[in-house]
């Protein structure tokens, strides 16, 4: 089978890196043959609509912020793609359209348009569905979509008063005006404004929301620690078995080759139980051990029309089928995106929970996952808040996040969506399933779900 190289470069920085020089593109993508036959079920292909396929998905190792950085460059045919879309959350002002700056910095043709999207933790989900929309509309045949986050090198602002003074200094026309402005500066003006994982509308940190949500659904500390331990244990098992095949190793200048996620740390319930509450103190149940950690990482997928992919000699991994976005109350239901999006996407696809072979839900917090599962299993919640006659139903755990999740692999905000979709495609291949479902929550009370179908083998 013919294969084609699509070059993508990622630049991940340590805390010493220069934010101003931030540019990145994408990974090395290549196709390979499958070895497992999918189950025989109806296909979700629709007459008159283009089939949109995931050709390949790759990512850097996901790294705990403040640890290791990455740099990788390869060659790329200038006409390989029609469009580039990237998602990110904490943006650097000088590279606000990071997709375009990265594409140019990596040697992509300057004729390839690129834009950046942001939708909190589902930013790369939005990048992928935007790519699918361009292909479905006939605007493009091949789009690179992805996401990136550098929590080790976030932009830190001066205080508002200091910014105002500095802008006034820039406009000052005389020495006297400048000296007067400099003399007005006080020590309080020098205090920096650090970015916070908090809701603008509620001023509440996401961890605090997760703690309240867990309490509302009666999710105990033990349940959260057990789920977190499950995530780390499964991730370690998948890592050791070589199942995390979307990772591309990088030779970091002046450092060793980085080839695996470094946040996977199975421990014991006893050790986890010793940690104190991280947000709601002293009696909260969300801790550092049952929360996703700040992470550096980047991901990319090559999305194409099936016709174009086959013509270029690719063997796609999966079809990208139906998807939905949802939104609800950002205070009391901030992290319930999967509960609302899952039944909607299944309805659009004409499927039931029993039809899904692979589930991949974003694990922001163990308490968030457990609260969603309890909400999905509640007739009262379905009737009261979702207008349903009965509960949504819960994914069987023997199909759920079997290679670990964000709690263990890490969660670079803008990059997680592509990891979820690529993992579904790889699990469908490995396990012989036909349908997979991705679901995720996001800041602002938003959420996303998508149905992925295995490509015929």
Catalytic residues: 121, 441
**Contact yes or no for 83/64 (Cβ under 8 A):** no
CA pair distance 64, 262, nearest whole angstrom: 7
Strands, E, within 227-384: which ranges?
Answer: 250-251, 257-258, 295-305, 318-327, 358-361
How many residues can be counted in the chain?
457
Cα-Cα end-to-end distance for the chain = 13
CA pair distance 6, 405, nearest whole angstrom: 27
CA pair distance 372, 219, nearest whole angstrom: 10
């Amino acid at each position: 089978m013919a294969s084609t190289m699509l070059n993508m470069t990622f630049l991940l920085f340590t805390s010493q890196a220069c934010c101003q020089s931030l540019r990145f593109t994408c990974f090395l993508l290549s196709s390979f043959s499958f070895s497992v036959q999918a189950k025989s079920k109806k296909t979700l292909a629709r007459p008159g609509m283009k089939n949109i396929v995931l050709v390949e998905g790759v990512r850097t190792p996901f790294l705990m912020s403040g640890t290791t950085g990455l740099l990788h460059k390869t060659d790329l045919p200038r006409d390989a793609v029609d469009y580039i879309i990237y998602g990110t959350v904490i943006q650097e002002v000088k590279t606000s359209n990071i997709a375009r700056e990265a594409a140019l910095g990596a040697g992509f043709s300057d004729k390839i348009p690129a834009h950046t999207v942001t939708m909190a933790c589902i930013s790369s989900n939005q990048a992928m569905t935007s790519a699918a929309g361009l292909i479905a509309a006939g605007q493009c045949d091949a789009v690179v979509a992805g996401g990136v986050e550098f929590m080790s090198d976030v932009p830190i602002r001066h205080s508002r008063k200091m910014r105002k003074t500095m802008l006034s200094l820039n406009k000052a026309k005389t020495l006297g005006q400048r000296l007067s402005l400099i003399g007005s500066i006080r020590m309080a003006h020098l205090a920096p404004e650090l970015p916070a994982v908090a809701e603008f509308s509620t001023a509440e940190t996401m961890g605090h929301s997760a703690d309240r949500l867990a309490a509302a659904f009666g999710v105990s500390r033990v349940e959260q620690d057990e789920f977190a331990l499950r995530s780390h244990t499964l991730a370690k098992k998948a890592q050791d078995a070589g199942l995390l095949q979307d990772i591309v190793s990088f030779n970091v200048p002046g450092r060793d080759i980085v080839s695996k996620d470094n946040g996977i740390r199975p421990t014991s319930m006893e050790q986890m139980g010793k940690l104190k509450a991280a947000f709601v103190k002293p009696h909260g149940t969300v801790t550092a051990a049952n929360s996703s950690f700040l992470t550096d990482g980047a991901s990319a997928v090559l999305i194409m029309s099936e016709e174009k992919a086959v013509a270029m000699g690719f063997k796609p991994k999966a079809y990208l089928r139906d998807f939905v976005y949802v939104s609800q109350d950002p205070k009391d239901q901030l992290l319930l995106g999967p509960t609302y999006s899952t039944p909607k996407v299944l309805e659009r696809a004409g499927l039931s929970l029993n039809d899904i072979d692979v589930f991949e839900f974003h694990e922001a917090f163990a308490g968030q996952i457990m609260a969603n599962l309890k909400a999905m299993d509640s007739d009262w919640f379905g009737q009261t808040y979702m207008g349903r006659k009965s509960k949504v139903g819960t994914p069987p755990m023997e199909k759920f996040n079997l290679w670990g999740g964000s709690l263990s692999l890490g969660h670079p905000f803008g990059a997680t969506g592509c990891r979820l979709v690529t993992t579904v495609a790889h699990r469908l291949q490995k396990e012989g399933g036909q349908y997979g479902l991705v679901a995720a929550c996001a800041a602002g009370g938003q959420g996303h779900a998508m149905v992925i179908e295995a490509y015929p083998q």
